[in-house]
Structure 1
């Protein structure tokens, strides 16, 4: 670089190749450029104000050109510079000599992509572990930030590691859209207990058409909790759309993925959340709060303090709140959690989740229920698997008189500790097809379908239980002690007469498989009022 700077008569027809370690590459002299500032990576200013521009052979900016070290150790600017003024000659964004060189260099590469004369917005981070003490700000339309060979970034400050938030008026408030940001093949580490409170290690506000691919966020939940940091892994809000794919969050102290108010049309595919635990208690792996049109496909939420997935409402605007709406969960496993497999509810009555579909999801082996809804409407569970949970497989509960209109189609519910499907004071629930059973040597599951009362709430109504294969349950196919459905219809099978055995609404049907007799419920909602239909030969 020294020889290039010293050239007194550069030629526009010559390619100059730097051999300085970390800066290797071709440059060319641009006579027409008289104003570009030197950034020591892609633009070098030589004698007589000559500007040399790096030739980007693969159309990417390398953070190594700006001085990254990446050995996992702390390297403050004071290692290279004696004054902040001297450091700012290379890194104008530096704020103190205690700033980490790796942060300064990576941010310099991002700033280069942001500059008016940038020829690319693609940035690569070579293999290494880079220590940062300030947030990487990535408000660059079309930015690609990708790691090579296992590149990782370790945060050593109580703030975000990577942030997209194009604020207005010099503040972080009211963020304006940033379009097309991509982050690939990078790991963010918070292993020393550093992290933001009530924020994500990486966070995207009003980031349109975002793509996160193969991004890992790893924290130490115990250290974060010890330092009283309430830290998410990946957070989106305020208009963010896009795709999160093949990502992992491990060991944060608040929800690993927090899809918050204003997020919409986000697809989360093949992602995993595990070992989330914090001082607030029952923290989920995935959290969807006040978001719209969110799809989770083939994700895994396991070994978390709370639910594998939690779908709820957001408290903003204050006193009004925002419900989660149009949520789809397709495939995936939410198992081995210390809370529920999937929890749906509200923290701000009268708001509640709406229009939720779960298709082919497995919520097994959790310490509480497989699936629990305490609030919600227009909900479909199709081909749902829930076995081995310490409470019920599927529990639909009307805690706040805002739970209704559930359809459970072809469930496979088995060997849970309380009931297969539990319905508490809910209006309009249909369970159709599938199986709810116990095939253990010593049965633990109470009823295949249990109607359970809630003190002071209305009795279940409009309950339809149709063609469910229920067997081996301790309390039979349907149990409704103290909570008989006041309306609806059952279509059940069993052995013997249902009279004085099966409680059901008027119009229900029962087939005695042993005798081949058919019964219809003619009066009442309890166990009496069954009449055998005449058989005509």
Structure 2
């Protein structure tokens, strides 16, 4: 029978009828459930709907009842009440009221073998006569769920969320099943003013050692970052999309909103973690972290926004205590780190890791101000860490930096397919070796696209690979090697990069040795490719397309290099130019056509000048082209101080407007002649 409320006129209201119908339906669902799990069953051990039906004389033990509740989820009868409450927050309707209305006790089985009672946490704590055969439904908003009395437990502590202890010592335990622990069960308010640190930590500490999850529902949860939230091993901290963990403003130099220290298998997923940079109570310091991961393994951060931290959004390093092990296998997946003050992410000690599909943007405030900074401390190492398909743009420092502090403690790392645009520097690799930088965009940076060099800790930078990157419209240089006569920068590969429209060099090697620069396109820069310095030696510049720059391919005081098979066309001044004591170089099989575009009959296709001596110039092709602005000479050895150059077998026919070949040098060797 439906018991419906009556309207003021004595008739049954439509609202009351619908409410009573819903109550009746839910009672029938619960009765059907208890018939399947209750103590009396039909004879014959039949199976109906996957549930074993035992004989009438076989009573279902309390343990089996609880196991059944855990598997099927008693709360699912009432539309998964705990999760519903989590989503609804403090504004959600009590699910038990929707089912029962104001009634207190329901017999949920035709045989009256189990009972369900609506109650509150406060009532459980004052319950002086607990019943082991009763399911207690706690209806406190945000804490809804089923509890049972465990008469065999006299020791468990009250954690407010899953264990409630009455004044008489009775332990009531929440029936959870497979659902995560809800931070609101443990007293987290999420109202933007309450300190929720202890409540969420209670939830985290309740996760069993075997593993489990804590759900933080929508809301703003104020966190004491001087204490921090500390997940244990085998824990998933799940933040709903509109959940925010916000640091309570402090004046400290160092803090962590979430601190994963010496743990294994931890996941942080979803929501937002927000620092206090806009409310910080001091003006100094730089180490207020959103998430710190120290001496931990198999940690994943996924789908989380971390913003406005006084220091770094994410810090990956070592425990400063007794266990100073490197982190291992850290995964940063689809994370956004935005408007943090020092770094988007710092990686100082990690063996194996991945940042994928994430954003590290708008870092600004205090140096280094990079999107990602891979920078091991002395004694630590970062190896096999990959940054793939991330957006590291609009940072005050570098988009991505790898900064070694010893000869080989930042090595075997991969940067691939990232966007590093509109920073001061796109990517920089300094004092680091054996790294790969592949297919990244480094465009529109105020300084350079890619910077390679030593640093104050170590001058060694070797065996790095820079392949397929795009450097477009940077404020100074596309790719630059910034060495000195004291650094050891060598054996690096620069291949198939696009360097276009940069204010200075497309590719610049300064004091570099044994580097291979091949198959690059340098278009519309001040210099296409430039080698500089007396210790810029033994480099191979081959097969590059160098067009429409002001200067094509130039050597400045650089010797013992090989320039072979490059196409240097339509540059504003010289196509290929050796200057200022550049000697003993091999200039082989290059093509220079239509250079000198800045002024007619003024500049040259190939120019050897300013004491550049003992160079081999062989098998090159020079043509003046068919444009209205044409170069002066095909090959010009322009001064007497440029001596003993070996210029043979060059095809200089119709190489310049004035002449194909001008030899003003001393002792030039043309024994096999040239085609003029």
The two structures have a TM-score, normalised by structure 1, of 0.79
2:115 aligns with none
Is 2:306 the counterpart of 1:217? yes
1:448 aligns with 528
Runs of 5+ unmatched residues, structure 2: 1-120, 319-325, 377-381, 455-460, 595-605, 618-636, 638-644, 651-671
1:269 aligns with 356
What SS does structure 2 have at the residue aligned with 1:267?
A: strand
1:171 aligns with none
**After the TM superposition, which segments of 4 or more aligned residues of structure 1 sit over 6 Å from their partners?**
none
Contact 1:484 1:525 in 2 (8 A): no
Query: Which is greater in Rg?
Result: 2
Alpha-carbon distance between aligned partners in 1 of 2:242 and 2:165, rounded to the nearest angstrom? 34
Encode CA deviations 1:422-444: one digit per residue, 9 max, x unaligned. 01010011111131111xxxxxx
Distance change in 2, residues 1:108/1:299 (3 Å): same
Contact 2:362 2:393 in 1 (8 A): yes
Contact 1:485 1:525 in 2 (8 A): no
Contact 2:547 2:569 in 1 (8 A): no
Contact 1:193 1:219 in 2 (8 A): no
Structural mapping, 1:493-512, within 5 Å: 493-494=567-568, 502-503=577-578, 506-512=585-591
Structural mapping, 1:328-347, within 5 Å: 328-337=414-423, 339-345=424-430
Deviation at 1:247, TM superposition (A): 0.9
Structural mapping, 1:103-252, within 5 Å: 103-113=197-207, 121-134=212-225, 135-156=227-248, 157=250, 158=252, 159-165=255-261, 177-191=262-276, 192-194=278-280, 197-219=286-308, 224=310, 231-238=311-318, 239-241=326-328, 242-252=330-340
1:303 aligns with 394
1:91 aligns with none
The two structures have a TM-score, normalised by structure 2, of 0.63
1:416 aligns with 502
What SS does structure 2 have at the residue aligned with 1:302?
A: coil
Task: Name the Cα RMSD after superposition.
Answer: 2.8
Higher alpha-carbon deviation: 387-396 or 268-277: 268-277
Alpha-carbon distance between aligned partners in 2 of 1:108 and 1:155, rounded to the nearest angstrom? 18
What SS does structure 2 have at the residue aligned with 1:44?
A: strand
Runs of 5+ unmatched residues, structure 1: 76-99, 166-176, 225-230, 315-319, 346-351, 439-444
Distance change in 2, residues 1:43/1:321 (3 Å): farther
Alpha-carbon distance between aligned partners in 2 of 1:393 and 1:197, rounded to the nearest angstrom? 31
Contact 1:523 1:530 in 2 (8 A): no
What SS does structure 1 have at the residue aligned with 2:464?
A: strand
| Aligned partner (choices 10, 16, 21) of residue 130 of structure 2 | 10
Number of paired residues?
Answer: 456
Contact 2:432 2:462 in 1 (8 A): yes
Encode CA deviations 1:174-206: one digit per residue, 9 max, x unaligned. xxx310010000211124343974352210101
Structural mapping, 1:360-509, within 5 Å: 360-375=439-454, 376-399=461-484, 400-438=486-524, 445-453=525-533, 458-476=534-552, 478-481=553-556, 483-494=557-568, 502-503=577-578, 506-509=585-588
Alpha-carbon distance between aligned partners in 2 of 1:109 and 1:511, rounded to the nearest angstrom? 70
Distance change in 2, residues 1:514/1:217 (3 Å): closer
Alpha-carbon distance between aligned partners in 2 of 1:300 and 1:366, rounded to the nearest angstrom? 14
Encode CA deviations 1:364-403: one digit per residue, 9 max, x unaligned. 1101000001122111011110010011100012134121
Alpha-carbon distance between aligned partners in 2 of 1:142 and 1:283, rounded to the nearest angstrom? 33
Higher alpha-carbon deviation: 198-207 or 382-391: 198-207
Contact 2:301 2:332 in 1 (8 A): yes
Alpha-carbon distance between aligned partners in 1 of 2:256 and 2:482, rounded to the nearest angstrom? 38
